[in-house]
Amino acid sequence: MNSLKLVAITLIAAGVLALVYGSFSYTKDTTAVKIGPLELSVKEKETVNVPVWAGVGAIVVGGLLLAFGSKKG
């Protein structure tokens, strides 16, 4: 399997996941207060919404790469 097919399949899979889940969240640590050796850390939950057009676009581009990317000439 060449790298172009691998990229195409990855784009299709990412597009399907974006359409199914619609968003993902992650937790990041931030330092709220630092006084000398004492440090107060806060965990914040961030949510990223993935637009529908991005998921559909990834599927379309992946499909086009898979269909027409390996043709020569």
DSSP 52-73: HHHHHHHHHHHHHHHHHTT---
Q: Which of 10-24, 29-43, 47-61 has the lowest mean pLDDT?
A: 29-43
The whole-chain average pLDDT of the chain stands at: 89
Per-residue pLDDT for 56 more than 80? yes
Burial of 8 (0-12, 13-18, 19+ CB in 10 A): buried
pTM (global) more than 0.85: no
The residues that bridge with 28 in the sheet, in sequence order, are: 44
Chain segment 64-73, per-residue pLDDT in tens: 998 888 765 4
